[in-house]
Homo-oligomer: A and B are copies of this chain.
């Protein structure tokens, strides 16, 4: 039986680039379909085709031509507006059902995409399955370690994210001194941290260095890691430092760390801890 290439459907950020490089290094045949307006220019140059996110006909047609052994949806895309999604999906599926699926939030939209691909006979795999080295292991740590207060903040953050699991929001939160400063919405982690930085700057007589606090990022209970796994990288660490945080805790086995060496080096240089924690609601980390 002939084995086809691996197809990467690529959104924004460094993750698709790193996945592509990893697969190429291992000699794997790869085809990249880059989403216009999302994929980085480097990736668009290396891509085999570029397509609009909502042009499902072209996407499906291209995949039919490639006959991939597996398809991976990698990189960020912003959730398009409701009506744009509606008209795109309605080309392919029963209107009522489409409306049901996409009105239920990000998770459901992504599940809808996976469902469509699987109905066409494609096998959908996560980047973490194709390149486990990109994922935070449970031994990941920088030079600095979380102190007692940080560990308490991490506990509160994990409890908070667990109770938000039902609501299709909240891969991230910031907790300082047992006080929840922010919960991540569709705006993303970096904007959430900038929000906290601004709040702190506007507060009375505050010297930021005294503030501390922890960014907690973790996959939700029941989250499909194949399409929506939390990701951090050097930029995350820099924004965390700017927001006056003392460190970052991420879910072991279920978080991508871009440029892992560089990310840890920056954390060390800026004096932040970076630690991976077991998520009580996840199956054991992938080996």
Interface residues, chain A, CB within 8 Å of chain B?
A: 37, 53, 78-84, 102-106, 156, 159-160, 163-164, 166-170, 176-183, 185-187, 191, 195, 199-200, 202-207, 210-211
Contacts and interface: CB of A to CB of B under 8 A. Distances in A.
B167 A160 contact: yes
Given A37-B204, A179-B186, 20 more contacts: A78-B204, A80-B205, A81-B203, A81-B206, A81-B207, A81-B210, A81-B211, A83-B210, A103-B178, A159-B166, A160-B164, A160-B167, A163-B166, A168-B179, A169-B183, A170-B183, A180-B185, A181-B186, A182-B187, A186-B199
Contacts of A210: 81-83
A177 B82 contact: yes
Contacts of A185: 180-183, 195, 199
A54 to B, nearest CB: 8
**Centre residue among A160, A168, A182, A183 by max chain B CB count within 10 A:** A183
Given A37-B204, A179-B105, A204-B37, A82 B163 contact: no
Contact of A183 (B82, B103, B105, B183): B183
